Chain A
Amino acid sequence: MIGASEAVSKTLLGLHNSMDPEIRHETAAKYKHR
């Protein structure tokens, strides 16, 4: 269950980012990097 929801969220995040490339810069500024 956890794996499935994580997979869905990763896929949707990827889809979201590929639909709107501008968001990438925004999230890069917003969150910490490892």
Chain B
Amino acid sequence: MLNDLWTPDVKATQLADVVSGVSPIRSVVNVGSGVADLVLLPIAQYRKDGRVVRGLQKGTKAFVRSTATEAVKLGAQLATGTQVILEQAENVLGSKFNETILAETLPHPSDDAMGRSIHSASDEETVDPISRYAEQPVNIQEGIQSAYTSMRRNLSSAAQTILAVPMEVFERSGSEAGSTTPILMRVYLPLCRVQFVLLFEQCRLPCYGP
């Protein structure tokens, strides 16, 4: 009884909104409405005052805008997905220096982690993971800025790993010769996470060895 009364109403008024709210369908709907604008806006403009060119301009503008927005959104999701896959591949392959790298590729390392002290950087593992899409950059300038920050962080992480491999070998070979060098390295290794300059210091460290 209730079903008979309610179902047509739901179908008539709510179904379209719910369906177009599902995110993959929504992209299609957005592009579709852009295409519809391309056709309908010139017609509406023509009916209003007969200026076809102006209507065509408006329609094309709306179409390009919605299509470009969807394309950018798709690109961003693709890039984020790639990032997630690569990070998981890195975790699966499990480099030897997992503990140092993990601190930087955690779900959400904050962008200012570089500037903080060593103690707060090591605390980051306890932070609750939040979505990668959370705290998005609000405009293009901020986007480029955070892109630059994350690029720098990842590059320094990569450089650190590359430099740390020979260091580990050196540490193993030098451990029977002198006991001070491994301790020295344990101090230097976390330090270079914070300051990129210290990496070069670490490079020179083998020269001081026994």
A contact set with B: CB distance below 8 Å: 1-20, 24, 27, 30-34
Chain B interface mostly: helix
Q: Which interface class (under 10, 10 to 19, 20 to 34, 35 or more) fits B?
A: 35 or more
| Contact call A7/B136, Cβ cutoff below 8 A | no
* B residues in contact with A33, CB < 8 Å: 130, 134-135
CA distance A24 to B142 in the complex (A): 13
- Are B83's CB and A13's CB within 8 A? no
Do the beta carbons of B143 and A3 come within 8 Å of each other?
Answer: no
A2 pairs with B133, CB closer than 8 A: no
Top-6 shortest CB links A-B: A14-B143, A3-B154, A31-B134, A9-B79, A12-B76, A7-B147
What is the CA–CA distance of A8 and B180 in the complex, to the nearest angstrom? Answer: 43
* CB under 8 Å from chain A, chain B span 44-65: 65
- Of the candidate stretches B12-20, B66-74, B170-178, B191-199, the one touching chain A is B66-74
B79 contacts across to A, CB distance below 8 A:
5-6, 8-9, 12
**Are B86 and A5 touching (Cβ within 8 A)?**
yes
Min CB gap B159→A, angstroms: 11
